[in-house]
Amino acid sequence: MSEPLILIIAAALFGLCIGSFLNVVIYRLPLGQSLATPPSRCRKCGYSLRWFDNIPVISWLLLRGRCRKCGAGVSWQYPAVELITGALFVLVVWLTPLGPLMVSRLLFVCILIALFGIDLEHQILPNSITLPGIAIGLLLSLIAPPGWQAALLGALLGAGILYGIAWAYYLWRREEGMGMGDVKMLAMIGAFLGWKAVLVTLVLSSFSGAIIGVILMSAQRGGMKFALPFGTFLSIGALIAMFAGEPLVAWYAGFL
């Protein structure tokens, strides 16, 4: 709230560019491809994007969502990821004092967007993101809120709750209902945000999952066949917990 306008604008531009990189991560990481080379290409004709084809959001708008060479459609998800990253960077910089906490939150936002996109497209939460994420969250907690005790407790609680649920479900149904990816992801959320935020995240993602699930099911009328990836809801829940966790807890405590 006290940040000067120039910093907010810088955050927006930086976020748009990082969002462009996150698109590469979301597309290539699950396929085991290098994130650095080759430069981005058209998926249809292989045309290598030049720098002016690769300006976040703007190039997509100028080319009307098509490849410059072959005219194949380019998904709206690319500019959407860029815009969301830019907007979340602005929110973080606006609401967080300059310092290690701001760095921690910017990094956390990037990880959540990548996991959201990958889980939505591929239904996996790669260990190569969640495991380093746990370590980075714990390390940053040494110099930034929530502090190492809350972070360590958060990682253990996050892993413990979902592991417990997965285990109970297995005993009940004799089949796996929840992936270990979700377990590691909630542990990572705990490492970044602390144990209280783990509980807030879990409540928010279960609620949003239930609401969206009901909407999709009634729209499809097809019964409960498809499974929505829980990691996408964990991302949404964690973002809300990060920005509004404390007021939410205070508001809820007001009823007790």
Binding site for Zn ion (CB under 5 A): 42, 44-45, 47, 67, 69-70, 72
Q: How near is the Cβ of 41 to Zn ion at its closest, in Å?
A: 8
Q: How near is the Cβ of 249 to Zn ion at its closest, in Å?
A: 49
Distances (CA, A) of 187 to 11, 71, 128, 153: 28, 43, 14, 9
How far apart CA 218 and CA 238 sit, in angstroms, is 27
Q: How near is the Cβ of 37 to Zn ion at its closest, in Å?
A: 19
Q: How near is the Cβ of 49 to Zn ion at its closest, in Å?
A: 10
**Is the CB of 49 or the CB of 136 nearer to Zn ion?**
49
Q: How near is the Cβ of 52 to Zn ion at its closest, in Å?
A: 15
Output the six-digit token pair for 158: 């996050």
Q: How near is the Cβ of 71 to Zn ion at its closest, in Å?
A: 7
- Residue 88 in 3-state DSSP? helix
**Is the CB of 72 or the CB of 211 nearer to Zn ion?**
72
The dihedrals phi and psi of 206, each to the nearest 5 degrees, come to: -65, -45
Q: What angle do CA 27, 31, 36 make, to 5 degrees?
A: 65
Output the six-digit token pair for 92: 């973080």
Q: How near is the Cβ of 24 to Zn ion at its closest, in Å?
A: 17
Output the six-digit token pair for 239: 């973002």
**Is the CB of 42 or the CB of 193 nearer to Zn ion?**
42
**Is the CB of 21 or the CB of 47 nearer to Zn ion?**
47
Output the six-digit token pair for 25: 């991560």
